[in-house]
Amino acid sequence: MTRIERNICRRDLTTFAIEVSAAALAGWETAGDLAALIADPSLPRPLKLIGGGSNLLFTRRFEGTLLMRCGEPAVERSGLLWTVDANMVLDDLCALVAASGLRGMENLSGIPGTLGGALVQNAGAYGAETGSLLVEAELVDLQSGRMFTVDREWMNYSYRRSRLKDEDGHYAIVRATLGLLPASAPANLDYGNLRAMLDGREPVPAAVREAVIAVRDSKLPDPRRVGSAGSFFRNPEVSADTIAGVEPDMPRYDLGDGRVKLSAAWLIDHAGMKGARVGGAMTWPSQPLVIVNAEGNATAADILGLEHEIISAVSRRFNIILTPEVEHL
């Protein structure tokens, strides 16, 4: 079953909760529905699958068709292999996996959006990345309608990137098979203050999930009340030589190849942009890596303006260029 709306203008299509205007919005449930939409010559092009809209910033009217999957996502379990529809809310899947006693997703708890979007973005947190769990994914070519299956190697994952992200929306994930870890696998507690949050409890998956959510809630806005896209900028990876002798207190993680990963949040804070504001857009006071729609009336221009001010301030202060993690359309 498909449903098509023309000339839409809505605020509920992205987690930023800003107005999105598009030539058309098409809902679909099955792979056959999606194939029919792709073959429909009346739909404005290009086609864009938006998932949960958690990593998107629409900067202008979209003159194509937004595709949104409807219906209840299916989950098929076979031991450590779980095959899941791409429209499954990522945090719901994290909760399900943790409750089953399996490891691999508990550190990803609380990340907004769907599984499909997380796999495209290689979303991650607290030492875990979604792409590391992928065994295979069923894709659709949004131009031809062709369905095919790829493995993790094909996805060419790197930090917050994948081949799908680099292909700029040419393909979309329909469902994915994840390889989870047994309960006996060691817990990943080396990031943030997860050990302290556990407060002596045994680090079973459900307890680690609770600790991750507690850490996130202490620093990040509640997505049900404040619009945002989560982390707005990537943590920059730079040559160690470029920051030698500069700001000895600057947090850095050695990547082992002559480069280091820096904390974008620390750079933004020390460039004087913590709590900075442009119109209705603001950096979150306890985590300046997050740009929020502060009172619900921010525009895309406000968010872009604050983005540019942050990039300029960090560049002036540290000679480092921040790159947005959020996709701009």
Active site (catalytic) residues:
160, 231, 325
Angle at 228 between CA 224 and CA 233, to 5 degrees: 145
Indicate the Cα dihedral angle 122, 172, 16, 12, nearest 10°: -150
CB 174 within 8 A of CB 139: yes
Residue for token pair 């792979």: 31
Burial zone of 254 (CB within 10 Å; 0-12 exposed, 13-18 middle, 19+ buried): exposed
Distance CA 262, CA 251 (A): 6
Q: Phi/psi class of residue 51: alpha, beta or left (left: φ > 0; alpha: ψ in -120 to 50)?
A: left
Angle at 134 between CA 128 and CA 136, to 5 degrees: 175
Distance CA 130, CA 128 (A): 7
